[in-house]
Amino acid sequence: MENRTPGGERFFKGVSNSTHLVTALIPVSVVAAGLVSNDKPILVKGLYMTASVAASCLITQALKQSFDRRRPYIKHPSIVPVGGGSSSPSFPSGHTSAAFSAATSLTIAFPKWYVAVPAYTWAATVGYSRMYLGVHYPSDVLAGAVIGAGSAWLMHKANKWLLGKQEPKGKLF
């Protein structure tokens, strides 16, 4: 907290605030691309990505209510959150979970380095932003990353099982 700068606060608050919009736009864009181009494999990938983010959010919310961990600035009043903070439970980080679910599902759907590098860079920056802003512990962020990536992987396995182990062959990139 002592090393925060006004520029850093603006940047990381912006990254953190982008999470919900970006995690919605990624799968919605792929679904739209599949619908517009009448490309069923792309549509299936978009629906898989939507299910991954939804599963991640559901799991995260269930764990938040189960653990009911107080946020760092509530437990340690010397920590001042940027932007006022939240009264919801801290563990796990929902922003990080959603970001890693979106990044992992996008990378599984389109396994190219030029997809994976920016996706995971953004997701890791979201996780770091939550700690920088004083609203999460490192363990909250780590758990969120594992839940997000894990939900995307599990949804991928479930889709392979449901689709009879066929991989959709749509090429968005």
Q: What string of DSSP letters covers 69-138?
A: PPPHHHH-TT---TT---SS--SSPHHHHHHHHHHHHHHHHS--HHHHHHHHHHHHHHHHHHHHTTS--H
CB 16 within 8 A of CB 22: no
Model pTM? 0.89
Half-sphere exposure of 130 (CA within 13 A, CB side): 30
Instruction: Read off the pLDDT of residues 26-81 as tens digits, 9 standing for 90 and up.
Output: 999 999 999 999 999 999 999 999 999 999 999 999 999 999 898 888 888 878 77
**Residue 57: what pLDDT?**
95
The SS3 assignment for 37 reads coil
For the chain, what's the residue count? Answer: 173
CATH architecture of 16-79+90-162: Up-down Bundle (1.20)
Domain ranges (residues) in the chain: 16-79+90-162
The amino acid present at 36, given as its one-letter code, is V
Residue 161 has pLDDT above 90, yes or no: no
Write down the pLDDT at residue 173: 45
- The mean pLDDT of 14-28, rounded to a whole number, is 95
